[in-house]
Amino acid sequence: MKTVTILGATGSVGTSTLDLIERAPDAFRIKALTANADVEGLAAAAKRTNAELAVVADESCLPALEAALSGTGIATAGGAAAVCDAARQDADLTMAAIVGCAGLGPVMAAVEQGGTVVLANKEPLVSAGEVILAAAARTGAMLLPADSEHNAIFQCFEPGQARHVRRVVLTASGGPFRDWSLDAMRRATPEQAVAHPNWSMGAKISVDSATLMNKGLELIEAARLFPIDPDKIEIIIHRQSVIHSMVEYADGSTLAQLGPPDMRVPIAHCLAWPDRMETPMAPLDLLAIGRLDFEAPDPARFPALGLARRALDAGGARPAILNAANEVAVAAFLDRRIGFLEIAAIVADTLDRYDPPAPQTLDDVLAIDGEARSIAGARVKDCVN
């Protein structure tokens, strides 16, 4: 039986993880669950799984959590430090699914305790990649990717064969605006941007899919995770979201991982790794799918890809700045304070305005993140005014 801690248990990845674990109660035991402020969802999950500990990041919600779990024997705690303490639980596997840079501290805490850490959020390897990887090398922590694309690469990247890899192909659905003109994209609404054609995801990542910034962030993450020259990582549009990524070898062989567009597939792979487990997913019906289409992304309509590639090539603080500015811009778009095309423009402007030294510690990363957010926020105000 594996012990599991889920950081971000009430979000989409967290609930998918819980769904799989609750289907296999003899295989997993929950040590800790955390959430930001969803007391009702957190308490219900803790009761269903008989978790040892439930933690709410918003400390003002702790009294409500204590009341909800009174008499259950489940320990409770609140605050950012308590979330990090939960990540330090001696769990066999920690699912890191806290959205945004709020997840950096807990991920580092989990890495420092040296277990297996499943990365479902991009920020640890995008914003703090070198710092996180150095900590993992020091403690022996195993990092498993739960993003569907990186998990697909992980399944196809043969151990010890990096020198024979010709290229890695990250597939992108293209998002809801893959056939839209620039003029139409200029008028796009938040409702249109979050209406992903293939996947059911949160608002922020759905907008990232619409701009293709999610592929840019995945490009950076893939370069951190796998021993391959970043120039060998390619992004292509694959509308059906059936092939999640591919690895091509020098002998001409290309290995691809196929599956339905449901996060429970890569999550299950991580939960059971190096074994496999049952999921509720129906078998892939290739006859019903009928065809698989591929095309190159348009750099003019999706400039986020170029911004991410340049940030990766420059290294240092650039990926952290890219990520922070994007989060600010996406939030402003969802609040209807800026237009859709201004998201990438604000990210580009922030990268032009701010170029600090490379971060050496997590505190450095957080300081860079904060300053980049301030600069991007000022640019949002300029757009509004």
* Residue 109 within any structural domain of the chain: yes
* Residue 195 within any structural domain of the chain: no
User: In whole angstroms, what is the distance from residue 209 CA to residue 196 CA?
Assistant: 8
β-pairing verdict for 243-249 and 165-172: antiparallel
Banded pLDDT at 349 (limits 50, 70, 90): very high
Query: Stretch 237-253: mean pLDDT, rounded?
Result: 96
What pLDDT was estimated at residue 385?
60
* Residue 96 within any structural domain of the chain: yes
Quick check: 200 pLDDT over 70?
A: no
User: In whole angstroms, what is the distance from residue 255 CA to residue 157 CA?
Assistant: 8
Checking 29-32 for CB contacts under 8 A at 24+ apart, the result is 29/1, 29/2, 29/3, 29/4, 30/3, 30/4, 30/5, 30/6, 31/3, 31/4, 31/5, 31/89, 31/90, 31/91, 32/5, 32/6, 32/86, 32/87, 32/89, 32/91
* Residue 165 within any structural domain of the chain: no
* Residue 182 within any structural domain of the chain: no
Q: What is the pLDDT of residues 224-240, one digit of tens each?
A: 999 999 999 999 999 99
By residue count, the chain amounts to 385
Any idea what DSSP says for residue 36?
S
* Residue 361 within any structural domain of the chain: no
What pLDDT was estimated at residue 24?
96
What CATH number is attached to the domain comprising 91? 3.40.50.720
Q: What are the backbone angles phi and psi of residue 146, rounded to the nearest 5°? A: -100, -15
What pLDDT was estimated at residue 100?
79
**In which domain, by residue range, is 49 found?**
2-145
Place of tokens 């779990």: 69
Query: Stretch 51-62: mean pLDDT, rounded?
Result: 98
Q: What is the pLDDT of residues 151-199, one digit of tens each?
A: 999 999 998 999 999 999 999 999 999 999 999 999 999 999 998 777 6
Residue 3 CB partners (closer than 8 Å, separation 6+): 28, 29, 30, 31, 90, 91, 92, 93
Any idea what DSSP says for residue 162?
G
What pLDDT was estimated at residue 31?
97
Q: What is the pTM of this model?
A: 0.92
Q: Which two tokens stand for residue 216?
A: 């840019």
What pLDDT was estimated at residue 221?
96
DSSP 84-107: HHHHTS--SEEEE---SGGGHHHH
Half-sphere exposure of 269 (CA within 13 A, CB side): 22
Query: Could you tell me which of 72, 8, 21 has the C-alpha nearest to residue 277?
Result: 21
Any idea what DSSP says for residue 360?
-
User: In whole angstroms, what is the distance from residue 214 CA to residue 202 CA?
Assistant: 13
Alpha carbon dihedral 259, 264, 265, 268, in 10-degree steps, equals -170
Q: Let me know: does 65 contact 43? Beta carbons within 8 Å.
A: yes
User: In whole angstroms, what is the distance from residue 261 CA to residue 38 CA?
Assistant: 26
User: In whole angstroms, what is the distance from residue 32 CA to residue 13 CA?
Assistant: 15
* Residue 39 within any structural domain of the chain: yes
What pLDDT was estimated at residue 235?
97
Neighbours of 378 (CB within 10 A): 14
The domain total for the chain is 1
75 three-class SS: strand
* Residue 139 within any structural domain of the chain: yes
